[in-house]
Structure 1
Amino acid sequence: MSATFRSLHIRNYRIWAAGALVSNVGTWMQRVAQDWLVLQVLTAGSGVAVGITTGLQFLPMLLLGPYAGVVADRFDKRKLLMWTQGLSGLWGLVLGLLVVTQQAELWHVYALATLLGLTTAFDAPARQTFVAALVPPDHLGNAIGLNSASFNGARLIGPGVAGLLIAAFGTGPVFLINAVSFAATVVAVGCLRTSELHPFPAAQRGKGQVREGLRYVRRRPDVVVILVVIGTVGTLGMNYQLTTGLVATQVFDKGATEYGVLGSILAIGSLSGALLAARRDVPRLRLVFGAAGAFGVASLVAASMPTYTLFAISLIPVGLSSLTMMTAANTYVQSTTDPAMRGRVMALYMMIFMGGTPLGSPLIGVVGDVFGARWTIYVGGASALVAVAGAVVWVLRRDRLRIRYRLHEQPHLQVLHPDEGAAARDSLDAAGGRAARSAA
């Protein structure tokens, strides 16, 4: 088996990955259907209403993230995941029945999005860290990359299928299919061989566990700078369902099928980025920063495309760069974090990355309504570039570094420490390694 797929030779991981793929397809179908239901059925094309729906879905992550991390560190992740996945399926079932019976109103969508967000707040850190129990430590980076590949492989299938189903039958059946898809993860978790899991230390009951997690992260400047970058990009730059929906309908006058196709095309780049990331063991900080910068540039280019076809094609590098950034950041943080703190650290990571959506989505919706759909993408791309520039400047000043570029030398780009003379050293990576070792 190639290095890219080496984790799949482990039975428990194969079962988990199969169940997750089915569930992820349903999740992407629901995301498209939910936005389309709000944008075209329940409102007269209101980007603000879509932004509020997305914001309510991610608001619990922002409010409950640290506490959810404590739960993930203290309790059996298998049982926790079975509960959260089952409840997520229940919320999809309720919304599907409301739509099919023509009883759905906007407040129903808001309420169920909030309930799904509450469930996801506890599901996300448990799911993110559970992969460490499925594979040995030297496979962790590969397994995280394959998880991302599964999620984005589902994005290739889900939005396109959702668009076709919406065009033919409406949004109701899509929600019902998503409800059934969550059963795949519940069954997969139940079929795992517990004797072959790789458990890590559980946090002990006690006071101040949330503060302990925050103190741990505060002692890790490499993690802090990653959180700043992914938080900015996640809040303002990665509202794909909202931004592509507005551009498809308001700029290019397209329908549900074309909107779904955009999600699938975006996933081509995302899947490629995930598979490339799966080949790496522990990525470096410079990869996180470089991918975030590339995302900013690609987003600005995509927002400027004059036709639907060119816009769709330009989403491929957007997906590639964003997924490379996300996978590299996730792998770096998990692989350099004390196992007993991993749930809390990843909860904070998910809180900042996904929890910023309640703030960003309504804001981006207002930008779209006031300045036009293209500006929803311009704002995201520009914010990513500003965040990366700020992070690089901060690291350079903190470690008193200087950058040198020589066209006729190898390597061309060197980051030099004042105590090292002419010896090149990538201090962005070394600083992160030092911080990780000192925190361990």
Structure 2
Amino acid sequence: MGDIGVRTRRRPTSDQGQGRSRRRAGWLDSPRMTNLAKTRGQRRLPRDFYLVLSSQGVSLIGSEMQQIALPLWVYQATGGSTLSAGVAFAFQFVPIVLLAPWAGYIADRFDRRKLMIICELSATVMVAITLLGLHYGIVPLVIVTASVTRVFNAVTMPAMQAIIVNTVPEEDRARSASRSTALFAIVQIAAPLAGTAIGGTLGFQVVLIIDILSFLLSALLLLPLAPCPGVPALRNAVRSTWHAFRDNSSTLFRWTLGTEAVFFLLWGADAALALLILGDRFGTATAGIFSAAMGVGWVLASALIPARFKQQPIRMIAAGAACGPIAAVAFVALVPYGLAAAFLPGVLVGVGNLAVVIGATTIFQKEAGAEVAGRLFAVRRAVLNSMLTVSYLLLPGVAAAGFGKGPTLILFSILMFVAVQVMAWLTVRRTADVTTKEEPEVLVRG
């Protein structure tokens, strides 16, 4: 037998050891490891945040499916009337506009947990009535009951925002906003595809049954939620909401709201027009691909845009508006080549829309106090949904008047881009003027 050789390991010199130590230390101090350490060191968000987020995620799945499917049913039931479909879209936002003062007031005065449970169960009843109207082909009843269902959503959303503001510590609200955005983006991808596919194959009645089940499950998820009491001393809904907006909204808050309102007025019905164009060309069952593509854009925007435009929410809004004309021209040019060609423009629309919303929400969350958050967010929803209502009547109306769906989409995308850039510039100027006026004088003595 041969000798068994023993292999010895050469000990590193002192210079080599120091080099390895420096490389190891550099790796540990790298941005990747630093961020990982910070992430692992973060505390978990409160349980109640995940409960209310799960509840609203489930509820939103059914609502989004109904919101996109019912106007398509109206479009078919009225023989392809673009204006009728626009009315069906618009009427879903009217209650949020009319009830804004009371919605925010109720969300700030009463226990938010009980309020949300009552709203989810009440919405279940209204969707059941809508189902009857759809079964018997009564178009006005379907439009009205779908609109009334949104009454309860008008109260639920400010209540949810108030719960998040009251349960999530201020330093963790950026993470909670990121979680919320990610969940709603996933819903935005899945729900439109499911709504149009199920409505076009199994029937629109099945969509409404799923909506009923989603409201019931949402109410069940809210049961373990801890009570979140409001301020019982609040009186007079309209006056209370007006005072909250007048006394607690800054100049930046108001000008940002105006900029966001212009965006939704001129571009709020973009998805509706795209949906009708795809429905005419490829059929109802596949028309939801554009809205699903917008959801993909939401995911991309939530991951990329905040890091790119950190601490620059106004620029985020301006950049988001710039996506509109590019997406509109690309959509109209590519649709003749097939359904898949509409996907990328849809993604770009989603990126732009969410960039505007994230930029505005960043400002609103910073400017709104916890005690008035419900009322201020309700005012914001009222303004934006009033703009959406007009947009759903304006864009389809122009298209139905003979201008055409594609040219209307391009025209309003350009108008939106110009108007938002002007408003963003004015917001920066006015805010800078106010900041300069509020700065104390500095006296320099010679």
Q: Do the two structures share a fold, i.e. TM-score over 0.5?
A: yes
CA distance 1:3–1:162, shift in 2 (3 Å): farther
Compared CA separation, residues 271 and 114, structure 1 to 2 (3 A) = same
Higher deviation after alignment, 222-231 or 323-332: 323-332
Q: 1:211 to 1:155 in 2, by over 3 A?
A: closer
Of the three residues 216, 233, 236, the one matched with 1:204 is 233
Question: Is residue 248 of structure 1 aligned with residue 278 of structure 2?
Answer: yes
Please tell me the residue identity of whatever aligns with 2:403: F
CA distance, structure 2, for counterparts of residue 280 and residue 331 of structure 1: 14
Q: Is the 8 A contact 1:38 1:106 kept in 2?
A: yes
Partner of 2:395: 364
* Residue 148 (structure 1) aligned with residue 184 (structure 2): no
Match of 1:175 among 208, 214, 229: 208
Matched, 1:301 2:345: no
Once structures 1 and 2 are overlaid, which stretch shifts more, 358-367 or 326-335? 326-335
Q: Which amino acid aligns with 1:88?
A: A
CA distance 1:301–1:7, change in 2 (3 Å): farther
Matched, 1:221 2:256: no
- Deviation of residue 361 (structure 1)? 0.7
TM-score, normalised by the number of residues in structure 2? 0.80
Report the residue type matching 1:12 in the other structure: D
Shift of 1:342: 1.1
* Distance of aligned partners of 1:77 and 1:181 in 2 relative to their CA distance in 1, 3 Å threshold: same
Structure 2 residues not aligned, in runs of 5+: 1-35, 440-446
Deviations 1:312-369 (Å, cap 9, x if unpaired)? 2111111012112212312320232121121111111111112222211111111221
Task: Specify the SS of the correspondent of 1:152.
Answer: helix
Q: Identify which range, 169-178 or 266-275, moves more after superposition.
A: 266-275
Within the alignment, does 1:58 sit opposite 2:58 as a pair? no
CA 1:142 to 1:269, structure 2 compared with 1: closer, same or farther past 3 Å?
A: same
CA distance in 2, matches of 1:50, 1:8: 44
Unaligned runs of 5+ in 1: 400-426, 436-440
- Please tell me whether the aligned partners of residues 309 and 315 of structure 2 are also in contact (alpha carbons under 8 angstroms): no
Matching of residue 238 in structure 1 with residue 263 in structure 2: no
Displacement after TM superposition at 1:286 (Å): 2.3
Whether contact under 8 Å (1:238, 1:380) holds in the other structure is no
What secondary structure is seen at the aligned counterpart in 2 of 1:78?
helix
Is the aligned partner of 1:118 residue 2:151? Answer: yes
Distance 1:141 1:266, change over 3 A: same
Task: Name the TM-score, length of structure 1 as normaliser.
Answer: 0.81
Render the CA deviation track for 1:224-281: whole Å, top value 9, x for unaligned.
111112112222312244212222134xx11122202222112100122234467799
The reply on whether 1:24 has 2:60 as its aligned counterpart is yes
Match of 1:273 in 2: 301
User: Root-mean-square deviation (CA), in Å?
Assistant: 3.0
Q: Which has the higher mean CA deviation after the structures are superposed, 10-19 or 47-56?
A: 10-19
Shift of 1:167: 2.8
User: Structure 2 residue aligned with 1:79, among 101, 114, 117?
Assistant: 114
Change beyond 3 A, Cα 1:375–1:88: farther
1:351 is aligned to 382
Task: Give 1:103 deviation, angstroms.
Answer: 0.5
SS at match of 1:355: helix
Question: What amino acid maps onto 1:377 in structure 2?
Answer: L
SS in 1 for 2:282: coil
Match of 1:259 among 287, 292, 299: 287
CA distance in 2, matches of 1:49, 1:150: 32
Between the aligned residues of both structures, percent identity stands at: 21
Given the alignment, which residue of 370, 373, 377 partners 2:405?
Answer: 373
Q: Hey, what's the Cα distance between the residues in 2 that align with 1:140 and 1:203?
A: 26
Tell me whether 1:190 sits opposite 2:223 in the alignment.
yes
| Further displaced range: 184-193 or 51-60 | 184-193
Query: CA 1:393/1:164 → structure 2, altered by over 3 Å: closer, same or farther?
Result: closer
Query: Could you tell me which amino acid in structure 1 is paired with residue 410 of structure 2?
Result: Y
Give per-residue Cα distances to partners, 1:172-225, cap 9 Å, x unaligned. 11111011101222122211244xx7x7x73732453133123136x5111111
SS in 1 for 2:314: helix
The answer to whether the 8 A contact 1:96-1:173 is kept is no
Q: Is residue 37 of structure 1 aligned with residue 73 of structure 2?
A: yes
Any idea what SS the aligned residue of 1:309 has? helix
- Contact 1:230-1:353 at 8 Å conserved across structures: yes
SS at match of 2:122: helix
**Structure 1 letter corresponding to 2:123:** S
Instruction: Identify the residue that residue 403 of structure 1 maps to in structure 2.
Output: none
Once residues 128 and 303 of structure 2 are traced to their aligned partners in structure 1, the CA distance between those partners, rounded to angstroms, is: 32
- Cα distance change on mapping 1:239 and 1:149 into 2, 3 Å: farther
